[in-house]
Amino acid sequence: MANSMAKSFLQVAATEEVVSPLRVVQIEGLVILKIIKHCKEFSPALVTGQLLGLDVGSVLEVTNCFPFPIREEDEEIEADGANYQLEMMRCLREVNVDNNTVGWYQSTILGSYQTVELIETFMNYQENIRRCVCIIYDPSRSNQGVLALKALKLSDSFMELYRANTFTGEKLREKNLSWMDIFEEIPIKVSNSALISAFMTELESDTPVTQCDYDRLQLSSNPYMERNMEFLIECMDDLSVEQQKFQFYYRSLSRQQAQQQAWLQKRRADNMQRKAAGEDPLPEEDPSNPIFKPIPEPSRLESFLITNQIANYCNQINGVSGQSFNRLYLMKSLHDN
């Protein structure tokens, strides 16, 4: 009986250790307003802040946030920033507010957030937090009448490769990892308490048209499209530089293989002469020879991130241009009538 009880307890403990995958990020409306206010006040400067909440099953609840101070990079200042975070969380704990870190938020310009710095920040958070997300807010995209807010996390397969620092073609094929598998976008669900929902209903105006609806009818999208095209061209230039690195690597590799083959043929000819003379043959490999030193393959991480960024710019251009065409056709119909 005791063995069966111990076995059942171990089974329960084993099932509790299984972590359910993250399905949705539930954010309170007040947190979203804080993020938007912070990002728009300092735009076009990039800002960041801490996300606080609870990790409940497959739902990550974000119930509060606070901004990080904008300062120049310095070791002493970084230490002050860490002390500031700890002090803020201590104050929140004293007033009985959720103070569990579940990630961070940051602003971006035209969706240009897919960088190595973002990945390193994710890895630093993952050392202490089992599951964390990054909320990305784009003020420039939101000016087009769309709430540009998304929640991101790193995929498990990518984190495994990043820890091993092996972004070679062989490892990527082995893990079946492509440039689309770096980040995972988690659906966002906005939640409000019953009191806030009732209060918002009281504040709601009688007219069904809001300022956001008027923003969607703006016919001019040239500045936004131009900046997207400029960033896209810069990314194409960066991708071309990365491709040149790989072309140089493969040329060097083929040159080295040709040198190794020529050296091997010469060594075999010498061994045939030595064998005919009754001497011992020489080894067919010479590790001390520079031509046998392996050429390190360049990392594909940077090219993956640039490709991801190019796809992001193309999606933004496609979305904005499609909406612009719809508005232009609408205005043409109104004029014809």
Task: Write the pLDDT tens digit of every residue in 282-314.
Answer: 787 777 777 778 888 888 888 889 998 998 888
Residue 121 lies in a domain: yes
Residues 42, 35: Cα–Cα separation, whole Å: 11
Same-domain status, 204 and 299 = no
- Say what the pLDDT of residue 299 is: 86
Question: Model confidence at 211, in pLDDT bands (50, 70, 90)?
Answer: low
Residues 150, 239: Cα–Cα separation, whole Å: 25
- Say what the pLDDT of residue 151 is: 93
Higher pLDDT, 213 or 6: 213
Residue 161 lies in a domain: yes
**Angle ∠(40,43,49) on CA atoms, nearest 5:** 70
Q: Tell me: the pLDDT tens digits for 144-154?
A: 777 889 999 98
The number of helices, as runs of H, and strands, as runs of E, in the chain is 11, 8
**C-alpha torsion 18→20→21→22, nearest 10:** -130
Same-domain status, 267 and 329 = yes
Number of domains in the chain: 2
Q: Tell me: the pLDDT tens digits for 18-73?
A: 567 889 999 998 899 999 999 988 888 889 999 998 888 889 999 988 898 876 55
For the residues 250-259, what does the mean pLDDT come to?
Answer: 90
Q: Which domain holds residue 331?
A: 235-336
Q: Global pTM? A: 0.75
Q: Are the CB atoms for 164 and 177 separated by under 8 Å? A: no
Does residue 255 register a pLDDT over 60?
Answer: yes
Same-domain status, 272 and 189 = no
Same-domain status, 104 and 192 = yes
Same-domain status, 166 and 83 = yes
Q: Are the CB atoms for 97 and 64 separated by under 8 Å? A: yes
Same-domain status, 205 and 278 = no
- Say what the pLDDT of residue 241 is: 92
**Angle ∠(77,83,87) on CA atoms, nearest 5:** 140
Same-domain status, 259 and 300 = yes
Q: H-type helices in 277-300, by residue range? A: none
List the structure tokens of 81.
């920033």
Same-domain status, 159 and 268 = no
Residue 80 lies in a domain: yes
Does residue 4 register a pLDDT over 60?
Answer: no
Residue 12 lies in a domain: no
**Angle ∠(53,59,63) on CA atoms, nearest 5:** 25
Average pLDDT, the chain: 81
Q: Tell me: the pLDDT tens digits for 108-117?
A: 988 888 888 8
Same-domain status, 50 and 192 = yes
Same-domain status, 205 and 262 = no
Question: Model confidence at 92, in pLDDT bands (50, 70, 90)?
Answer: confident
Same-domain status, 207 and 270 = no
Residues 313, 315: Cα–Cα separation, whole Å: 5
Residue 7 lies in a domain: no
Q: What are phi and psi of 94, to 5 degrees?
A: -65, -30
- Say what the pLDDT of residue 226 is: 83
For the residues 91-100, what does the mean pLDDT come to?
Answer: 78
Does residue 227 register a pLDDT over 80?
Answer: yes
- Say what the pLDDT of residue 170 is: 81
- Say what the pLDDT of residue 2 is: 45
Same-domain status, 261 and 209 = no
Give the CATH number, domain containing residue 90.
3.40.140.10
